[in-house]
Amino acid sequence: MEIANDGTVWFTQGGANFYPDNAELLNTSRVISFDPATDQISCYNLPVDNAAVYGVLVDEARGMVWYAEGRATVGNSIGGFRPDSTISDCLFDPYAGDNAVQICSDGLVDSCHLRFELPSPGSPAHLELDAEGNIWFTESMGNRIGRLMPETGEI
C-alpha cells in the first residue's frame, strides 16, 4: 500500500491464478486507488491476467504509478501507467472479451502501460524510488534486489 501526497491510498488486488488445475479461469490483476476526501475508488486493470501484482509505488515527479507483476510465468515485470490519462474500470470482466488495456510499444504515452520484463524469473515485489528516480525492487523468489532505470529500461 502507498499513500500519495494528496492523501490518495493506492494498493494492489491479487491476480494470481487461484485455480491451478484450470488455467481457463482468469483472475484480473489491478491497481486500485481510494480518495478518502471524495470516497471515490478507481480501478486500473493490468494488461495481462493472472500476473499476481504485488507492489505499488507512487512516482509523483513523473506522474506515474508503478507496480510489480510477481508471477514468474505470466508477469515477472515492473509496469507503470499515468492515472490521469488511464481509464478506470472497476467493472471489468475478463470473460466478456478482450482486455482493452494496452502495453505501450513506443515508450510511455497516454492510456497504456509501460512494461519492463525482468531478465530472469524472480517474482518482483516491494518497490521503492531513490533520489535519482530509479525504482528498486525485491525478487522474492530470486533471492535478489534489483534496480530499474525507467528512462532507459536498464535493469
What DSSP string describes 8-23? -EEEEE--S-S-TT-T
What is the CB neighbour count within 10 angstroms for residue 51?
27
Hey, what's the cell of 6? 494528496
H helix count then E strand count, the chain: 0, 11
Hey, what's the cell of 2? 502507498
Rounded mean pLDDT of 82-101?
82
| Nearest Cα residue to 29 out of 42, 12, 47, 15 | 15
| Nearest Cα residue to 146 out of 103, 64, 128, 11 | 128
Q: What is the pLDDT of residue 95?
A: 73
Hey, what's the cell of 53? 501484482
Higher pLDDT, residue 47 or 107: 47
CA count, 13 A, side-chain hemisphere, 53 = 28
Higher pLDDT, residue 25 or 80: 80
pLDDT band at residue 104 under the 50/70/90 scheme: confident
List strand residue ranges (DSSP E) for 23-134, in order: 28-35, 40-49, 53-59, 64-69, 77-81, 114-117, 124-129
Residue 20 has pLDDT above 70, yes or no: no
- What value does the mean pLDDT of the chain take? 86
Residue 111 has pLDDT above 60, yes or no: yes
Rounded mean pLDDT of 90-108?
76
pLDDT band at residue 133 under the 50/70/90 scheme: very high
What confidence tens digit (pLDDT) does each residue in 28-57 have? 789 999 999 999 999 998 887 777 888 899
